[in-house]
Amino acid sequence: MLYATLEGLRRFNIPHNFEVVSIITLYAQWIREGRLKVDPAWNTEGLKFSVQDPCKLVRQSLGDPVADDLRFVIKSVVGEENFIDVWPNKSNNYCCGGGGGALQAGFVANRRQHGKTKFDQLNATGADVVITPCHNCHTQVLDICEHFGGQWQTTHLWGWIVKALIR
């Protein structure tokens, strides 16, 4: 919906006096300001994390700054030493293959075939958890993990923020 809002404002030249910001950017800002207090000390097992950069959020909207914020937030909540980045990453990352209606289109074999590149990329990290801030990416990354025999857990970001909150 962030991309749709940005694109609608641009395409239809809708006048507005507000800035469209990702919640990920706000999480990063709040952590930096100390308003959102997190501590990665909960990760006593040393779980390793990687991330999927969503197409609409990163490549087609807010670019590397939001991808950097995403990595900052993840490292803040799981520990910098527990983050394994994919390559290529950020604006150059691979599409997961689940967006643009692909999840709903019914062409499962095609979607999975496209997603094999993403599977290989994520699998190469050896991460225990892949964080996907987009619901389409989440469903696709979960599906390709199961379909191709991956071993990671596919999750959203907010659950790890909650786990790391300092009370």
Three-class secondary structure of residue 123 per DSSP:
helix
Neighbours of 145 (CB within 10 A): 20
CA 146/CA 51 separation, integer angstroms: 17
Q: Which tokens is 53 given?
A: 């950069």
DSSP state of 165: B
Tens of pLDDT along 70-117? 999 999 999 999 999 999 999 999 999 998 788 888 899 999 999 999
Contact (Cβ atoms closer than 8 angstroms) between residue 97 and residue 43: no
Tens of pLDDT along 16-71? 999 989 999 999 999 999 999 999 999 999 999 999 999 999 998 999 999 999 99
CA 125/CA 27 separation, integer angstroms: 25
117 contact partners, CB below 8 Å, separation of at least 6: 94, 97
Structural domains of the chain sorted by starting position, each given as residue range(s) with its CATH number in brackets: 2-164 (3.40.50)
